[in-house]
Amino acid sequence: MTSTPTLGLHDLQAAEAKLLVQTYERYPLLFVSGSGVHLRDAHGTEYLDLLSGIGVCALGYNHPSITRAIAEQAPLLLHTSNLFFHRGTAELAARLTEITGMDRVFLCNSGTEAWEAALKLARAHAGLLRAEGKAIGTRFLALEHSFHGRTMGSVATTHKAKYREPFAPVMPDVHFVPFNDVEALRAAFSSDVCAIAIEPIQGEGGINSVSQAFLMAARELCDSTGALLILDEIQSGMGRTGKWCAYQHSNVLPDITTLAKPMAGGIPIGAMLCTDDAARAFTPGMHGTTFGGNPLACAVALAVIDEIIQSNLLEHVISTGEYFRAELRRLQSKYPAIVDVRGLGLMIGVELASEDLAKSVLSGMMERHILINRTHETVLRFLPPFLLAPGHVDHAVLALDQLLALQKQLEPSHSTTLTGASKLG
Ligand SMILES: *Cc1c(COP(=O)(O)O)cnc(C)c1O
């Protein structure tokens, strides 16, 4: 195994099947490099990437700003631990609080760690309120179809039974509320609740936007008892929807928000941001991380924020996203198999009539060298790099158009025929 670079896809498949804990079912594609919005496989074939590593590679691949930030920081300092100061932490925190409207930041290494910090802060904050004489409990309200990550607290607030039940007992005292059901939220809320947890746009759950009415009701309920509103922006944040945070499309501010995926364009980092009032609940030693906020991750996150600002990418995300959805709606008027087109900015979902259809369209797109993803069984998910141009949209929409036309021709026996014909190799 010393000649790793020469291993082909089949060698890697065999080695991984034997050596890795089997947590992933990978597509049989071996990528070796990328540039802009394209990935290149081991044969030199280019793929248009409309998924960006599940919303991570917001600046695409081999972006000069990111490569430069890594090259400049690497020879200076990669890590010091959180026992000492380094120059990146305060500078990144200043930028993050400025763009999100929050007061304070806790830096970590991933989405689930940011979410775990948020849950712990909410419990500690409720404890502080109780010590101050307020009646407030420990319960979390979360939403049906939510996804907040894979650690014990994160899965406890994640709705899907498959992610939660094998690990029982997970963190207790979580109650799930039907999506966008204001009355159910009001009915479930009481002084037992320490926080309401919401993704402003559910990602894994199928690209579902929380309504303004629901967000406002959650804010009002929290304000009535001192409970905290936690908004998970791990997938929707950092410009994905054309604002730094999706909640900025509304006039609701959370007490806590979480960021991660695109923060440093592929270098692992996460952040839990909160108000001064919520932050009172953590004192030195109560929470921490060895790697969190290290000099390399901070330098790259700063470069990503600068690039988004300097290249006006928020405006670009809004206009490209509008164009993309308009083109998808044009297809929807042609094909009844498209049930819904939804999302905001470059966080887009296309709901199809069946799981089989969604599967065959996904593999058809891959055969045409376009990478997308399927979530919540029937929803095609698009999370492209922010650099996506209208020409890339046209290319993807034409491919979808052709696949759906073919599908229509094959009806009603489409599921067997297309799935069988669309094996990747
Ligand atoms: C991906 C995701 C997480 C978990 O992030 P990881 O970095 O995978 O731990 C949490 N919440 C949301 C909304 C996500 O999309």
Exposure of 359 in the CB half-sphere (CA atoms within 13 A): 16
Question: What number does the ligand 1 atom closest to the CA of 260 have?
Answer: 7
On the question of a common fold for 9-62+325-422 and 77-310, the answer reads: no
pTM of the predicted model as reported, rounded to 2 decimal places: 0.95
Tens of pLDDT along the chain (425 residues) come to 454 457 999 999 999 999 999 999 999 999 999 999 999 999 999 999 999 999 999 999 999 999 999 999 999 999 999 999 999 999 999 999 999 999 999 999 999 999 999 999 999 999 999 999 999 999 999 999 999 999 999 999 999 999 999 999 999 999 999 999 999 999 999 999 999 999 999 999 999 999 999 999 999 999 999 999 999 999 999 999 999 999 999 999 999 999 999 999 999 999 999 999 999 999 999 999 999 999 999 999 999 999 999 999 999 999 999 999 999 999 999 999 999 999 999 999 999 999 999 999 999 999 999 999 999 999 999 999 999 999 999 999 999 999 999 988 887 654 444 444 443 33
Residue from 24, 51, 113, 148 whose mutation best tests the ligand 1 pocket (most atoms within 8 A of CB): 148
Which atom of ligand 1 is nearest to 150's Cα? 9
Cα-to-centroid distance, 354 and ligand 1 (Å): 26
Q: How far apart are CA 238 and CA 269, in angstroms?
A: 12
Residue 394 is predicted with a pLDDT of 98
Dist. CA 312–CA 301, nearest whole Å: 17
Phi, psi of 315 (to 5 degrees): -65, -40
pLDDT at position 414 is: 46
- Atom 15 in ligand 1: which residue has the minimum CA distance? 235
Topology of 77-310 in CATH?
Aspartate Aminotransferase; domain 2 (3.40.640)
Alpha carbon of 414 to ligand 1 centroid (Å): 34
pLDDT of residue 36: 98
Ligand 1 binding site (Cβ under 6 Å of any ligand atom) = 110-112, 115, 147-149, 199, 203, 232, 234-235, 260-261
For a mutational test of ligand 1's pocket, the pick from 163, 234, 383, i.e. the residue with the most ligand atoms closer than 8 A to its C-beta, is 234
Pocket test for ligand 1, best of 23, 107, 112 (most atoms within 8 A of CB): 112
Annotated domain spans of the chain? 9-62+325-422, 77-310
Question: Residue 148 C-alpha to ligand 1 middle, in angstroms?
Answer: 5
Question: Which residues sit opposite 350 in a β-bridge?
Answer: 341, 380
Q: What is the pLDDT of residue 408?
A: 87
CA of 107 to the centre of ligand 1 (A): 15
Q: Which atom of ligand 1 is nearest to the CA of 233?
A: 13
In angstroms, how far is CA 195 from the centroid of its own chain? 21
Residues near 141 by Cβ (< 8 Å), separated by ≥ 6?
A: 174, 175, 176, 177, 185, 188, 189, 193, 195, 196, 197
Q: Give the architecture (CATH level 2) of 9-62+325-422.
A: Alpha-Beta Complex (3.90)
Euclidean distance between CA atoms 185 and 213, whole angstroms:
11
262 Cα: distance to centroid of ligand 1 (angstroms): 11
What lies within 8 Å, CB to CB, of 114 at 6+ separation is 106, 108, 234, 258, 259, 260, 270, 271, 272
Instruction: List the beta bridge partners of residue 344.
Output: 347
Q: How far is the CA of 7 from the centre of ligand 1 (A)?
A: 31
Q: Is the dihedral of CA 247, 248, 254, 260 positive or negative?
A: positive
Atom nearest to 112 CA in ligand 1: 9
